[in-house]
Structures are given as C-alpha cells and as structure tokens.
C-alpha cells in the first residue's frame, strides 16, 4: 500500500475510533488535507488500498473489513520492529590480507603489518 494513503487512512480511523465507510474515510482524508492529490477516483483508490492490504497481509493487516465498504483498525495488529544487526567493526585492513608493498609481500594480522 502506498504509505501516504495508508498513513492517512490510519490517522482517520484512529481519530474516529469506530468503523467507517470508504466514502467517510475518503471525505475525512481530504478534509484534513492528509493527502494532497485527489486523482480521478479517490474513493476507489482508498477502497483498493484497504482491500489490497487485507488481501496481502491477512490477519496481520492493519485493517479489518467489517462488511462491504466498511473498515476499522485491527485491534490485534502488532507493528513489526525491525532489529538491525550490530555492524562489525570494520578495520581498514582485513586480518587475512596479504599486501604487496613496494615489491615486498607483507602479511597483515589485525591492524598490524607483519613481514612475511
């Protein structure tokens, strides 16, 4: 789902705290100026994005379809927190690298040069 539509829909549904028809969601999204461009069929676009998110994510969707054309936020939705692996400390010279320095082979251990 395009993130600006998704964010706008989430904001409207959070504030209203109840299921809304797609037409109501669309109206509030543009009244609050959460999305700048209406396009030709904004209601159809929002409906498509909601249904697409539910189809793609199933029970893990941010939204629940209450009935045809009516949606609410999924109270059981848990946002995934992406944990970044801590980066290994990079040295300028890798520990196993063999360097040719002025025609002489030099081994590198850690950050120290050892003649070889």
The whole-number pLDDT of residue 113 equals 65
Tokens 């209406």 belong to residue: 38
Residue 67 has pLDDT above 60, yes or no: yes
The pTM (predicted TM-score) of the whole model is: 0.64
Instruction: Return all residues near 108 (Cβ < 8 A) that are at least 6 apart.
Output: 93, 94, 95, 96, 97, 98, 99, 114
């Amino acid at each position: 789902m395009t993130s600006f539509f998704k964010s706008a829909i989430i904001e409207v549904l959070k504030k209203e705290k109840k299921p809304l028809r797609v037409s109501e969601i669309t109206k509030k999204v543009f009244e609050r100026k959460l999305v700048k461009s209406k396009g030709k069929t904004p209601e159809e676009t929002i409906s498509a994005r909601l249904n697409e998110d539910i189809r793609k994510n199933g029970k893990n969707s941010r939204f629940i379809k209450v009935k045809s054309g009516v949606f609410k936020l999924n109270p059981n939705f848990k946002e995934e927190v992406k944990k970044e692996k801590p980066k290994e400390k990079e040295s300028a010279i890798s520990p196993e690298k063999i360097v040719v320095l002025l025609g002489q082979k030099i081994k590198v251990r850690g950050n120290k040069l050892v003649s070889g």
